[in-house]
C-alpha cells in the first residue's frame, strides 16, 4: 500500500478568507516503511502573511518572492499523490486549502479526494485517546517521538514527525523474528503466558497475547470497521 504523509503551511487559518498555501511537504510510505521519495515546495502566495501565522512557521512573505506559484507546481503535486492514501493531521484544514488552491488554478483538475483517499490522524488519535490532548506535540510525547528540534512548524519537518507518530499509533514497523532461534545462549524474554506442545515431532511454543495487547487489537479493529477480516466470529 502506498501512503503519503502530507503537511502544509499557510498565510493564515482560513482559505475562504483569501489565505493561501506557502509550503507543502510530502513523504512516501510503502508497506509502512519510509522511502527516500519526497515532495517539498515553497510557494509564492502573492499576498501578505498574518502575524500569527508568521509566529508559528517563521516563513516571511519576502522569502517567498522568488518561489513558484501554486499553479506552477500543481501538476507535480498531483502526480506525486495520485493513487495514494494521504495521511494528514487535521486533514480538513490541509485538504480545504489544497482544494481551494486547485480551484484557483482555473483548470478543471478536480479535488484532492478525486485522486486520493485520506486518513486523518487527528480523528484516529481522538478515537484511540478520547478526552486527551491529541495535538502533534502531545502525540509525540505520548508515543516517545523526539520533536525537540521543532521550535517552529514546517511542512516537511512536521511530515517527518507525523510519519513516526503514525507508525507508532498504528503498530510500528513490524519485522519477522523467531523466538529461541539462537543456540549461542542469548537471553530471551517472554512476558506473556506460554504453552509448549509437540506436532509432527517439532516442539511448538505458543505465546498468548496479554490483556493490554488484546485491548489494543480490539481498538484497532474498531477503527478498521465492520469490513475487517479479523472481527470476532469470522
User: Which H or E run includes 207?
Assistant: strand 202-207
Q: Of 51, 57, 149, 153, which one is the catalytic site residue?
A: 153
Query: Which contacts qualify for 22-25: CB closer than 8 Å, 24 or more apart?
Result: 22/49, 22/57, 22/59, 22/64, 23/57, 23/59, 23/154, 23/155, 23/156, 24/73, 24/77, 24/98, 24/155, 25/154, 25/155, 25/156, 25/157, 25/158, 25/159, 25/160
How far is it, in rounded angstroms, from Cα 137 to Cα 125? 12
153 is catalytic: yes
At a CB cut-off of 8 Å and minimum separation 6, what does 60 contact? 49, 54
- Return the bridge partners of 4, or none: 28, 86
How far is it, in rounded angstroms, from Cα 210 to Cα 108? 53
Question: Which amino acids are annotated catalytic?
Answer: 153
Amino acid at each position: 500500500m502506498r501512503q503519503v504523509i502530507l503537511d502544509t503551511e499557510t498565510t493564515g487559518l482560513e482559505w475562504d478568507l483569501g489565505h493561501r498555501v506557502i509550503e507543502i511537504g510530502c513523504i512516501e510510505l510503502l508497506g509502512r516503511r519510509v522511502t527516500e521519495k519526497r515532495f517539498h515546495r515553497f510557494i509564492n502566495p502573492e499576498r501578505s502573511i498574518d502575524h500569527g501565522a508568521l509566529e508559528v512557521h517563521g516563513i516571511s512573505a519576502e522569502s517567498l518572492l522568488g518561489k513558484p506559484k501554486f499553479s506552477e507546481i500543481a501538476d507535480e503535486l498531483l502526480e506525486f499523490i495520485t493513487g495514494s492514501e494521504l495521511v494528514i493531521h487535521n486533514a480538513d484544514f490541509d485538504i480545504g486549502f489544497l482544494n481551494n488552491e486547485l480551484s484557483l488554478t482555473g483548470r478543471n483538475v478536480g479535488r484532492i479526494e478525486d485522486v486520493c483517499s485520506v486518513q486523518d490522524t487527528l480523528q484516529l488519535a481522538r478515537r484511540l485517546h478520547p478526552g486527551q490532548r491529541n495535538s502533534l506535540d502531545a502525540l509525540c510525547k505520548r508515543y516517545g517521538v523526539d520533536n525537540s528540534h521543532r521550535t517552529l512548524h514546517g511542512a516537511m519537518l512536521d511530515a517527518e514527525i507525523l510519519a513516526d507518530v503514525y507508525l507508532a499509533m498504528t503498530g510500528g514497523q513490524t519485522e519477522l523474528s523467531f523466538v529461541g532461534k539462537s543456540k549461542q545462549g542469548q537471553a530471551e524474554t517472554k512476558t506473556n503466558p506460554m504453552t509448549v506442545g509437540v506436532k509432527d515431532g517439532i516442539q511448538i511454543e505458543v505465546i498468548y497475547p496479554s490483556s493490554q495487547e488484546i485491548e489494543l487489537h480490539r481498538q484497532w479493529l474498531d477503527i478498521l470497521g465492520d469490513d475487517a477480516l479479523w472481527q470476532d466470529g469470522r
